[in-house]
Amino acid sequence: MDAPPAPPGVAEWLRPAQNGGLRRVLAPNPSPMTGRGTNSYIIGTGSVALIDPGPDDDRHLAALIAALEPGERISHIFVTHAHRDHSALAPRLSAATGAPVLAFGDATAGRSPLMEDLARREPPTGGEGADRNFRPDSLLSDGDLISQGDWSLTVLHTPGHFGNHLCFSWQGEVFSGDHVMGWSTSIVAPPDGDMGAYMRSLDRLAAACPTRLWPGHGDPVLSPLDRIAELTLHRQARARAITDALRAGPATPLDLARLIYTDTPTTLLGAAALNTFAHLIELSEKNEISAEGDLRFSARFHLT
């Protein structure tokens, strides 16, 4: 088993330099949504890549700079997705290091037409909050290969938790952002989150057959295919519970969340309702249920 992570602000080597070099710096932003905090990863030696600069925090900025060895520099800053706990420090870290910021796009990139239409009617919400000011210097596309010195990363576009969500493949392992974590399921909060896309991205990640996942929060996932299968079954069970509950009559996402998420603390019920809404949208796309009136969070849904 891997050792517990170092405390916030302390860089720890997860792979020695001769094995590709991987360091992790934990951001000081623990919460019910982030666990112990955001994991920032430094890959390689010399000219290094950094994945997920994390929240806009002076302490974390200093810790990332201090994690570099003498003579090293950050050549690329990669962002898995535009939630503030992953992306907000990017502009300041870029200014401090001269490294460009690379991502799939801004906070609206990767949305489906349905989610774009929903966003025009209802403001997005959920999670740590979208970084609406996020603007990458360079755009990444699915399948891109970025290399520098002794490291190489392959881009996997994995929308679902967020439309612009990316994973990065490295030496057969994958930096999975918030798409797959071991300690928690991911919130899928429409219109930024899309349950149908999330399920397809789980399949895509499984097809890559990673040997290990390095998530944006929590410990590494040592059995990725088992965890992906577990998450898939969990989401499928939630969808069945929703359709079963709707047999009693129409209900809103919040009504359904109260019925289904019986073991969820009251403080997280809002997030559970957003996940439920994401399931309802996916079921609507499959013509298994319908909304009364416009598709929105406050709508009542019924079986078709």
DSSP secondary-structure letter at 237? Answer: H
| Residue-level length of the chain | 304
| Phi, psi dihedral angles at 201 (to 5 degrees) | -70, -30
Confidence of residue 127 (pLDDT cuts 50, 70, 90): very low
Cα-Cα end-to-end distance for the chain: 48
- Model-level pTM? 0.95
Structure-token pair, residue 111: 């949305």
pLDDT tens digits, one per residue of 249-293: 999 999 999 999 988 888 888 889 999 999 999 999 999 999 999
Q: At what angle do helices 58-66 and 90-97 cross, to 10 degrees?
A: 40
Beta bridge partners of 290: 302
Report whether 17 contacts 45 (CB < 8 A): yes
pLDDT at residue 71, rounded to an integer: 96
Structure-token pair, residue 265: 């603390």
Residue found by looking up tokens 């997030």 in the block: 271
Helix or strand (DSSP H, E) at 33: none
pLDDT tens digits, one per residue of 79-113: 999 999 999 999 999 999 999 999 999 999 999 99
CA angle 228, 260, 205 (to 5 degrees): 15
For residue 208, how far is the Cα from the chain centroid? 17
